[in-house]
Amino acid sequence: MKYALITGGSRGIGRAVCIKMAQMGYQIIINYVNNTTEAEKTLALVRENGQDGEMLRFDVGQMQQTREALDAWQQAHPDDYIEVVVNNAGIRRDNVMALMPAEDWSSVLNTTLNGFFNVTQPLLPAMQIHRFGRIINMASVSGIKGLPGQTNYSAAKGGIIAATKALAQEVAKKGITVNAVAPGFIKTDMVEGLDEAALKKTIPANRFGTPEEVAELVGFLASPAAGYITGNVIQINGGLYT
């Protein structure tokens, strides 16, 4: 069995990645926090695409909760390991910094940046033993360009990018690649409330991207064909920022 863990896998980009990885022959571990109904829908779609999966509920921002969930999974699968992890979980709490509550700063960095550490660090030893692993981190154009009203989000995604580059150098000799995907505006719940008509005018492709397009990129980075690609940040934004 080949296993892939997708954090924030119940909806949006996470759901599309779960489906893509199922099509590639992986057993899917769908991480979610609250929305059991949507996670169940993702699991049903995984099964429709020819593979099985399971739901694993934990908050990536809570270290002990994450470790306990991953330890329990490993104990239930003593002969297996998670060879692909897609760190997709993230939240937005947009505001100009002058008016930003401290909690909104902390919660965004905790979920995105601390979540990356909490999930990835305990999975690394098994990847190193098996001398194969794929770590794919969901960054954002906000972490490359910086966007006003997203100082917290930009800081979190920028941190993910820097961590991707550093970790890639640590584990390359063990056959593990670490890359980041940096989407622009993608039609998911995360862009609800934004003025799509106005924003499309700023995008050379004149449209928002789809979760499936992001999932195709993630699938390639997870594949054996991408074994010589590591430490990279690949933008998928319709030309919004180059």
Active-site residue set: 153
Task: Give the residues across from 27 on adjacent strands.
Answer: 3
CB contact set of 72 (below 8 Å; sequence gap of 6+): none
Nearest to 233 by CA among 169, 170, 175, 162: 162
Full 3-state SS string of 127-169 = HHHHCCEEEEEECCHHHHCCCCCEHHHHHHHHHHHHHHHHHHH
Report yes or no: 241 and 141 within 8 Å, Cβ to Cβ.
Answer: yes
Q: How far apart are CA 29 and CA 52, in angstroms?
A: 9
Nearest to 18 by CA among 69, 73, 89, 79: 89
